Structures are given as structure tokens and as C-alpha cells.
Amino acid sequence: MALIILAACNQPGNSQPALVQLDPARIGHYGFGSVAKADEIAGWNIDIRPDGKGLPEGQGSVEDGEWIYEAQCAECHGSFGEGVGRFPVLAGGMDSLRDFRPTKTIGSYWPYTSTLYDYIYRAMPFTQPQSLSVDETYAVTAYVLYLNDLVGDDFELNQHNLANIPLPNRAGFTRDPRPDVANIRCMENCRDPAKIKILSETLPSVQQDYTSGIEPASTKANAGQSIYTQACKLCHESGLAGAPVHGEKDQWETRIAQGLDKLVSRAITGFTGDSGVMPPKGGFTQLSDEEIRLAVTYMVESVP
């Protein structure tokens, strides 16, 4: 039996009630598809959280993992996790994150062991994702940890100890400091969106002016900040190699007195002075002269 409902549309200018015909068994649905069964949901619900939540019951040893790894992973990732050809390197690269070309591996870069289990279970081996059993995944995860010198050769991994294996670079991850990602949804007394100005959108990060009352830095300085972060910060933030420290008045005053053009041209061509060597464009020769000008503008405007 079908049910006829009279629904008044409250759109302005529409005073006609609409006729809607609904199957009573399917009220609340659009009349197609079916409700997912618990085991269907379980097939998709396989994410593992950093604290181990979501891990299935099971275990696997480094010893068992070695066989699986050699048979199913080594052809691409290499017997020692060194990566064959352009396939990802899984082990080593410790302390390389500050290098010009860091080697990012589970041991050198990843923050959580849970991601390793999750990734392998979900996506590997590349040509047959989700073909590994739970125990096989524990075993091969244990073996990849072993390749990174994070566990011993007699180690057995399971749902209880996995989250307790800290990865060395855990502390290298911090919360995203940009103001727009941490915002809480505003429910009352909100800012008028029309008053939020987009200051720049051509450069990698879209900078928005969220300040009220505070004078924003110039548009150029904002654009220069992202270039500074990529190419100049390494030396100028800490004073590495004798670089004048960002925002330190006494280290910049006499330099700024030379005028912006002089500073920009020295930053472009490189400059050796009393305190050290400023390489041409900080070593990032792919940057345009205009981008260097933006970065220098930002640096100069940061000096109080």
C-alpha cells in the first residue's frame, strides 16, 4: 500500500502543496539500495588508529615475516628494504631528514606503527591488495620493523604490543599551525565572511587575513613567507652558517640600511661577507628573481 503525503513547500513564492508518494516500508530512503549488513561494514571498517584501536586479534613473528617478505615484498622493496629501482625504500635513512634529499622510511620518518600494519593490510602486496591474512600481516609488519632495527629477531607482534612500539620520528610531527585548519565551527557571534580578505592565492599557501584590528603584513611579505619557509629558513631561522637571524634587529639593521634593491641583488647572486657565505638564491636556483624579492621583502618586514 502506498502512502500519500501532503507536504507544504515553504519556498517563497510557492504556495502549492507538493504531492509526494512514499512506500511506507521505505520511508526515510530513496527507494534503492539496501541497508549494509554488519559483515559488509566490517569488510571496509579496517582502519587502525595510533593507539591500536581497530587491530584484529592475531600475531606474527619476525621469523615468519621473513618468509612472507622474501616471497611477496622483496621483488619491489628489496631484501633489506632498500627499494628496487624506484619502488619505495622501507628501511634505513636514519637521521637523513635534514639532508638535501631525505630518505623517508618507516624508521626514519613514519610517526606510528599502526599505519604500517594498516597500510600493508589494506594495500600490499601492490598487485594483490588485501590478500594477506591477519597473522601474515602481523608477521610481515614485524619483519619490516626488524629491518629498521626497531625490534629483535625473536620478536613477535600482536594486537597488544603493536601500539607500544614507538617510531623514532614520532616527535617530528606537530600539529598544523595554520589558523584555518584548527578552527572550531562558529555557531554564534561569527565573523562576517564578507570581511575576510584573501590576500594571495597564486603562491602555494593561500594566506588569509584572520586578524581583526592587527595591521596585516603587506601582501608581498605574505607571499614571501612561503618562499622563505622553503628556501631560506634553514639558515636564516637559526643563524646556521653565519646567516643573519630572522627578525633580529641588531643583525639586520645595517644590512637593511643598504636598501632593499642591494639586499635582493645579493640574495640573487650570492654574497660572501664577514659572517659567512650566502649562496645564490640560497641554493634554490629554480626560484625566480621576483620570488627572491618577495622572500627578502618578507625578511625585511619581519624586523621590528
Please give the residue ranges that form the binding site for ligand HEC (CB under 6 A).
72-73, 75-77, 87-88, 90, 116, 119-120, 124-127, 140, 144, 231-232, 234-236, 240-244, 255, 258, 263, 266-267, 271, 273-279, 281-284, 292, 295-296
- Among candidate residues 43, 201, 83, 64, the one with its CA nearest the CA of residue 139: 64
In the bound state with ligand HEC, the residue whose beta carbon lies nearer, of 22 and 76, is 76
The least CB distance from residue 116 to ligand HEC, in Å, is: 6
Q: How many CA atoms lie within 13 A of 117 on its CB side?
A: 33
Q: Which residues have a Cβ under 8 Å from the Cβ of 268 and sit 6 or more positions away? A: 280, 281, 289, 292
In the bound state with ligand HEC, the residue whose beta carbon lies nearer, of 207 and 281, is 281
The least CB distance from residue 106 to ligand HEC, in Å, is: 6
Neighbours of 136 (CB within 10 A): 19
- Among candidate residues 118, 109, 67, 60, the one with its CA nearest the CA of residue 88: 109
3-class DSSP state of 263? helix
Largest separation between any pair of C-alpha atoms in the chain: 91
The least CB distance from residue 171 to ligand HEC, in Å, is: 19
In the bound state with ligand HEC, the residue whose beta carbon lies nearer, of 151 and 232, is 232
In the bound state with ligand HEC, the residue whose beta carbon lies nearer, of 22 and 52, is 52
In the bound state with ligand HEC, the residue whose beta carbon lies nearer, of 52 and 239, is 239
The least CB distance from residue 127 to ligand HEC, in Å, is: 5
| Helix runs in the chain, H state only | 38-44, 62-72, 74-77, 113-123, 134-147, 219-227, 233-236, 249-256, 260-269, 289-301
The least CB distance from residue 129 to ligand HEC, in Å, is: 9
